[in-house]
């Protein structure tokens, strides 16, 4: 428990109305999308960067653990206060779009801004912020940066790190630092912004983010390729991209997911499909969109597609994307416990990776529905367990470990967008050698020698 004198000191910094230690707040801030629970000792809402600095300075002096938190929508436990202390919640006050610079095409935001709110604001003036995690309706941009979130448009436009131009952040000792510039080019000094991206709040607390924007494309159409097998679909992914296709998104649903979406939501998807590829193409002239669709159709059919469907109206496009967006909740028909991993492999390895992943599922007797961002090699692998006891859960974790091992063997990674947090921390030694893990600890120690910021995440020491 946090001593009452510390609660009072924090109230002096941010005001009594911004510090809570009552049961309701502690429960509300005890979990994220993993549904694992760890209660903090207090929840603190900083009003501005100065508050953040004073809070960190005080907590560093008194060795009080701090867990930064955005919307709590993460899937790996990055915002869980596993060792108590205070949760530093950014959504109440630090949630403003500070600037949309039309001339330089950048936006300056506070970390509590919701992703979709920024998208709507910039699209209203003809600009575009592409990163679109599935949680875009409620995830915060500070959390997106801290986890380096991806999204469905990553196949063409990249992920969060590709749009972060500069950051302001506060180190654990209270020092305020700037990392990066509003300029397109900046090669002066170490890339500190690059180090802070995906650091999961373990190095510093983000207080301001400068993001690159691009012009909004004028035309968009959706497509669907229907394939007899996963292998055919995965071959079509990398071969169509190598042939010159440049889709905004190329999303994958296997036959288990197709069945689940049809059964649970009644969406009209082809029952006979072994796999589907769903996506968008865009451009500033209609001929550009048509050209991209022609490349995709030709390449898909060369790789065994049974049918290529184009959504010529908004209703059909929305139907296709509704199926994709609801893949995750639909697969609960196969079990009420989902071990959800977001592995990523080089695109050319997708056919082999999926074949071996399904083999692991068969070995353990688990259904493993897969879906995700095939266009950038990032697949959501779901080991489904029904009412698992401790023994079945352990088998599930063994299956996940085997999947991680085969993915890393193929040149892939443990996480394409969800981060490491607590849930993947035990597997970090699969992806990194002893020297690399030691370097991570050295970086952590350089920023946070007293280990007060989000300890125990990413495989770092508690």
Question: Is the pLDDT reported for residue 204 higher than 90?
Answer: yes
- The answer to whether the 97-215 and 219-328 domains have the same CATH topology is no
- Extended beta strands in 255-331, E state: 275-283, 307-311
Q: Which fold has domain 4-92?
A: 3.30.43
Spans of all domains in the chain: 4-92, 97-215, 219-328, 335-430
| Rounded CA separation 317/383 (Å) | 29
Number of H-type helices and E-type strands within the chain: 16, 18
Question: Is the pLDDT reported for residue 347 higher than 90?
Answer: yes
pTM of the model: 0.95
Residue labelled with tokens 């209270």:
174
- Higher-pLDDT residue of 271, 301: 301
Q: pLDDT tens, 264-297?
A: 999 989 988 999 999 999 999 999 999 999 999 9
Residue labelled with tokens 């907590």:
59
Helix (H) or strand (E) holding 176: strand 176-180
Q: What is the arithmetic mean of pLDDT over 145-150?
A: 96
Q: What confidence tier does 116 reach under pLDDT thresholds 50, 70, 90?
A: very high
Question: Which residues are within 8 A (CB) of 81 and not within 5 positions of it... i.e. 6 or more apart?
Answer: 29, 30, 38, 39, 40, 65, 67, 87
Torsion of CA 74, 75, 77, 79, to 10 degrees: 0
Residue 118: which of 97, 142, 133 has the closest Cα?
Answer: 97
Question: Which residues are within 8 A (CB) of 6 and not within 5 positions of it... i.e. 6 or more apart?
Answer: 42, 58, 62, 64
Q: Which fold has domain 219-328?
A: Alpha-Beta Plaits (3.30.70)
Mean pLDDT estimate for the chain: 96
Q: pLDDT tens, 62-103?
A: 999 999 999 999 999 999 999 999 999 999 999 999 999 999
| Rounded CA separation 246/349 (Å) | 19
CATH of 97-215 among 3.30.465.10, 3.20.20.10, 3.30.460.80, 3.30.9.10: 3.30.465.10
Determine if residue 54 is left, alpha or beta; phi over 0 gives left, psi from -120 to 50 gives alpha, anything else beta.
alpha
CATH of 335-430 among 3.40.50.150, 3.30.70.2740, 3.40.50.2000, 3.60.15.10: 3.30.70.2740
What does residue 244 show for φ and ψ, rounded to 5 degrees? Answer: 110, 0
Question: Is the pLDDT reported for residue 462 higher than 90?
Answer: no
| Rounded CA separation 331/63 (Å) | 43
């Amino acid at each position: 428990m946090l001593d009452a004198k510390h609660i009072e000191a924090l109230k002096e910094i941010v005001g009594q109305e911004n510090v809570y230690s009552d049961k309701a707040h502690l429960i509300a801030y005890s979990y994220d999308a993993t549904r694992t629970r760890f209660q903090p000792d207090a929840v603190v809402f900083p009003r501005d960067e100065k508050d953040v600095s004073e809070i960190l300075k005080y907590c560093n002096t008194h060795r009080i653990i701090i867990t930064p938190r955005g919307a709590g929508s993460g899937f790996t436990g990055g915002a869980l206060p596993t060792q108590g202390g205070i949760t530093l919640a950014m959504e109440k006050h630090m949630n403003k779009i500070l600037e949309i610079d039309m001339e330089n095409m950048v936006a300056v935001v506070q970390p509590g801004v919701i992703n979709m709110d920024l998208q709507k604001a910039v699209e209203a003036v003809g600009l575009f912020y592409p990163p679109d995690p599935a949680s875009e309706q409620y995830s915060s941009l500070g959390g997106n940066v801290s986890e380096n979130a991806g999204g469905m448009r990553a196949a063409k436009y990249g992920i969060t790190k590709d749009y972060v131009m500069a950051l302001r952040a506060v180190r654990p000792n209270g020092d305020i630092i700037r990392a990066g510039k509003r300029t397109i080019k900046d090669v002066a000094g170490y890339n500190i912004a690059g180090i802070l991206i995906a650091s999961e709040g373990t190095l510093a607390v983000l207080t301001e983010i400068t993001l690159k924007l691009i012009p909004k494309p004028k035309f968009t159409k959706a497509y669907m390729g229907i394939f007899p097998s996963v292998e055919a679909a995965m071959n079509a992914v990398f071969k169509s991209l190598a042939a010159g296709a440049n889709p905004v998104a190329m999303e994958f649903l296997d036959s288990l997911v197709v069945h689940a979406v049809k059964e649970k939501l009644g969406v009209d998807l082809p029952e006979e499909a072994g796999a589907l590829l769903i996506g968008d193409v865009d451009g500033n002239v209609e001929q550009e969109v048509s050209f991209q669709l022609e490349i995709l159709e030709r390449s898909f059919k060369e790789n065994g597609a049974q049918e290529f469907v184009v959504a010529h109206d908004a209703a059909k496009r929305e139907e296709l994307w509704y199926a994709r967006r609801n893949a995750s909740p639909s697969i609960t028909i196969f079990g009420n416990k989902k071990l959800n991993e977001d592995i990523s492999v080089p695109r050319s390895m997708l056919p082999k990776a999926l074949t071996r992943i399904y083999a692991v599922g068969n070995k353990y007797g688990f259904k493993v529905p897969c879906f995700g961002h095939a266009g950038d090699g990032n697949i959501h692998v779901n080991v489904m367990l029904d009412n698992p006891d401790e023994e079945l859960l352990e088998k599930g974790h063994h299956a996940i470990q085997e999947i991680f091992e085969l993915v890393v063997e193929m040149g892939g990674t443990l996480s394409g967008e969800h981060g490491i947090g607590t849930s993947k921390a035990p597997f970090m030694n699969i992806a990194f050698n002893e020297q690399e893990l030691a370097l991570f600890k050295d970086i952590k120690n350089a920023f946070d020698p007293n280990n007060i910021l989000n300890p125990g995440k990413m495989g770092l020491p508690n």
